[in-house]
Amino acid sequence: MSRIAIFPGSFDPITKGHEDIVRRAIPLFDEIIVAIGVNSSKNYMYSLEQRLQWIKATFSDCKSVKVIQYEGLTIEACKKHQVKFILRGLRNSNDYEYEKSIAMMNQAMSKDIETIYLNTQPEYAAISSTIVRDIIKNQGNALPFLASGVRL
């Protein structure tokens, strides 16, 4: 059986931190699915099409990385795509507490899907899509924080 992981998020936009987590996880899995969660009640800065394009460009050199979009629960996307692992990055203890709660609920809904955490590299620990969006909105230079495939 293949070891497939899903890396869910809104990726609005995808950052160097996201890219680093996926690239470091490549040797651990046969396939990684970067999954853009779509929430119709959320206002995104960038269109779904733009985010898909940036993620595909970021991982164009990685044959084992796929990109999808999904609506609803991540655990249901896992079942649909026969995924047994959810990949998550942790920047700090707040991330851990938040992600732990989600992982426990996911386990309650599907015992055979595990959440795997990778700690963020220290140089990326302060980067979040929320902060990057704020830099962009205020005409700051966000390029040092954006994934390699992002072109503003």
User: Which structural domains are found in the chain, ordered by start?
Assistant: 4-145 (3.40.50.620)
Instruction: Report the greatest alpha carbon distance in the chain.
Output: 48
Write down the catalytic residue from 40, 41, 42, 93: 42
pLDDT of residue 22: 98
Annotated catalytic residue, options 16, 51, 88, 129: 129
Full-model pTM: 0.95
Residue 30 near residue 4 (C-beta atoms within 8 A): yes
Please report the pLDDT score of residue 41 as a whole number. 80
| Annotated catalytic residue 91 | yes
pLDDT of residue 39: 84
Q: Tell me if residue 129 is catalytic.
A: yes
How far is 92 from 74, CA to CA, in rounded Å?
22
Dihedral sign, Cα of residue 110, residue 84, residue 116, residue 102: negative
Residue 152: predicted pLDDT: 87
Asked about 81 being catalytic, the answer comes back as no
Indicate which residue of 91, 100, 110, 133 is catalytic: 91
Q: What is the pLDDT along the chain (152 residues), one digit of tens a residue?
A: 699 999 999 999 999 999 999 999 999 999 999 999 998 788 999 999 999 999 999 999 999 999 999 999 999 999 999 999 999 999 999 999 999 999 999 999 999 999 999 999 999 999 999 999 999 999 999 999 999 999 98
**Does 60 participate in catalysis according to the annotation?**
no
Question: What is the token pair recorded at 71?
Answer: 């609506």
Element at 68 (helix H, strand E):
strand 65-71
